[in-house]
Structure 1
Amino acid sequence: MAQARVLVIAGSDSGGGAGIQADIKTITALGGYAATAITALTAQNTEGVQGIHPVPPEFVASQMEAVLQDIGADVLKTGMLHDAAVIEVVSEQIRRYAADIPLVVDPVMVSQSGSRLLRQSALTALRERLLPQALLMTPNVPEAETFLDRRITTVSHMQAAARRLQREFGCSILLKGGHLPAPELVDVLVTPDGEQLFEGEWLTTKHNHGTGCTLASAIAVSVGQGLPLEVAVARARAYVRKALETAPGLGRGCGPVNHGHTVKDTLSDFLTPSPPSPNDD
């Protein structure tokens, strides 16, 4: 499979479980090449976000321009954009240098620990500037409720919400059901051409930090590798499921998943002595 170039525009997670760190690990583990434009630095760990230090919007633009003018990209993925000024420059850089490149938007609004990561004033910019440029948006239920200003409590509510978001923004919508109390885990994909439900069994674990970032990046790299969107979603869900099942159990709080589960352990290749060469004395 092709080594897709993925430019990720998102915030950094000092704990390594989410954000840019999760994006890079995911893209690499699935055979892509990750480049980045960092929008904010966070001080955080498995117990929560202790601080956010925004990167100036003009420097976010400089990072994007530097990558797109040299390395290029097969797909773009956004995560934490934090405020309206950053969204504006990201949208403008996409218009100037990447208008024909697929864009996956993870509308990161609130961390799993409850910290707000997107200012309220940025919602308008997200709606009006960035989402019309997107191929796909991947909201969870609370994020979809924020967009629509309505409660979502059933799978049928999810389907109706995803259809409405798709009509409003024009892009495909993957509405994730991880926050919904239901017998099965259900995600809803609505595209301009139709609708598909992805179902699975619940997995009980507290080590699920960064799953939203991870899923969106897994979809993005798969799209960049040429997979149809439905196949990219299925592949990404399978990747995240295995990452959850094999989570390393780090930290006192909501720990990271195992992003590297696709990578073969070759340590023994380095520790096993090589046989002597016929030319050795």
Structure 2
Amino acid sequence: MVNICCIAAHDSSNGAGITRDCIVAHDFGIWAHPAITAITAQSFEHVEQIWPLPPNQLGNQLESIAKNFPLSAIKIGMLYSPENVNTVANFLSSQINVPIIVDPVIVSSGGNPLITGQALILITEKILPLAYMVTPNRFELETLTSQKVMNINEAFQAAQKLVEKYNCKVLLKGGHFEGTVLNDFIIGEDETIEVSHERRKYEYSHGSGCVLSTALTCSLALGYDCKQALSHAVNYTIRYFDSMNISMIH
């Protein structure tokens, strides 16, 4: 059995967060071990309340996972508090040669902040330097690079800044930019991988970034190279939201 650790918050709508990570991993035939960072009360549109878990509770979860299960990858989502960022950073420092995929969750799709200011600073100092891959959306890319991103070319330049600063790969997602054909990239120091697909218009897309980054984590955990992993992750995400939108209509 392939094991991954997913570190994220609980989303009471079950549209994103730790439960969605586990569902995606199950679809890939992978056993996901969840470490919960916070409890949220939210709908598909709005986050109503956030209760971060005490760092000792998060640390105990991570210690138990690491002690009992050999991990093939680690996926990090919403951390929220500076105390929990420090706890996760300490855990990651002991995970040698395990690919770490960071989805730098900063705000919800409804505009609610999902991290404190101090926690964001600590993520840039302690988490991103350990990352194998970072998967920001457009707003997160702007925040992490302190530059405005108005088109795919500017996004590409911003992503390259992250690659150089943190010696990591960056998943650049084309969904926030115009065009009937979307281009998703994995940008690294030595190569750029591209997967193109037709744009789809969905009524429901809550958790799309979470689903894609977890699908990518699972594909890497299964041993696929970056090009294969990106293709598998994109195709899975398309099928997932095709199915989800059909079921919600009916």
TM-score bracket, shorter-length normalisation = over 0.9
Q: Which protein shows a greater Rg?
A: 1
Are residue 196 (structure 1) and residue 196 (structure 2) matched? no
* Cα distance in 2 for residues equivalent to 1:181 and 1:151: 16
| Aligned match for 1:81, one of 79, 82, 99 | 79
Could you say which residue in structure 1 is the equivalent of 2:50?
Answer: 52
Greater alpha carbon shift after TM alignment, 101-110 vs 195-204: 195-204
| Aligned match for 2:237, one of 221, 236, 240 | 240
Could you say which residue in structure 1 is the equivalent of 2:88?
Answer: 90
* Cα distance in 2 for residues equivalent to 1:246 and 1:225: 24
* Cα distance in 1 for residues equivalent to 2:240 and 2:66: 30
What root-mean-square deviation, in Å, do the aligned CA atoms of Structure 1 and Structure 2 show? 1.6
| Aligned match for 1:224, one of 221, 226, 242 | 221
**Matched-pair identity in %:** 31
Could you say which residue in structure 2 is the equivalent of 1:21?
Answer: 19
Q: How is 1:258-273 mapped onto 2 (pairs within 5 angstroms)?
A: none
CA shift for structure 1 position 248: 4.6
- How many positions carry a matched residue from both structures? 249
Equivalent AA in structure 1 for residue 63 of structure 2? E
Equivalent AA in structure 2 for residue 156 of structure 1? N
Q: Which structure has the higher relative contact order (CA within 8 Å, separation 6+)? A: 1
Deviations for 1:141-195, whole angstroms, at most 9, x for unmatched residues? Answer: 1100011111111221121111111001111000212222334322221112211
The 3-state SS of whatever aligns with 1:129 is helix
Q: Give ranges in structure 2 of 5+ residues lacking alignment.
A: none
Equivalent AA in structure 2 for residue 126 of structure 1? I
* Cα distance in 1 for residues equivalent to 2:18 and 2:31: 13
Equivalent AA in structure 1 for residue 150 of structure 2? T
* Cα distance in 1 for residues equivalent to 2:180 and 2:246: 26
The 3-state SS of whatever aligns with 2:150 is coil
Q: How is 1:98-247 mapped onto 2 (pairs within 5 angstroms)?
A: 98-247=95-244
Deviations for 1:29-75, whole angstroms, at most 9, x for unmatched residues? Answer: 01100101100001112231111111011211110000110123111
* Cα distance in 2 for residues equivalent to 1:41 and 1:91: 20
Greater alpha carbon shift after TM alignment, 188-197 vs 134-143: 188-197
The 3-state SS of whatever aligns with 2:5 is strand
CA contact (8 A) 1:176 1:188 kept: yes
Could you say which residue in structure 2 is the equivalent of 1:274?
Answer: none
CA shift for structure 1 position 199: 2.0
* Cα distance in 2 for residues equivalent to 1:175 and 1:116: 22
Equivalent AA in structure 2 for residue 41 of structure 1? I
* Cα distance in 2 for residues equivalent to 1:158 and 1:196: 15
Q: Which has the higher helix share?
A: 2
CA shift for structure 1 position 230: 2.0
TM-score under structure 2 normalisation? 0.95
CA contact (8 A) 2:186 2:226 kept: no
The 3-state SS of whatever aligns with 2:92 is helix
Equivalent AA in structure 2 for residue 244 of structure 1? F
Greater alpha carbon shift after TM alignment, 228-237 vs 34-43: 228-237
CA contact (8 A) 2:45 2:109 kept: no
Equivalent AA in structure 2 for residue 213 of structure 1? C
Equivalent AA in structure 1 for residue 38 of structure 2? A
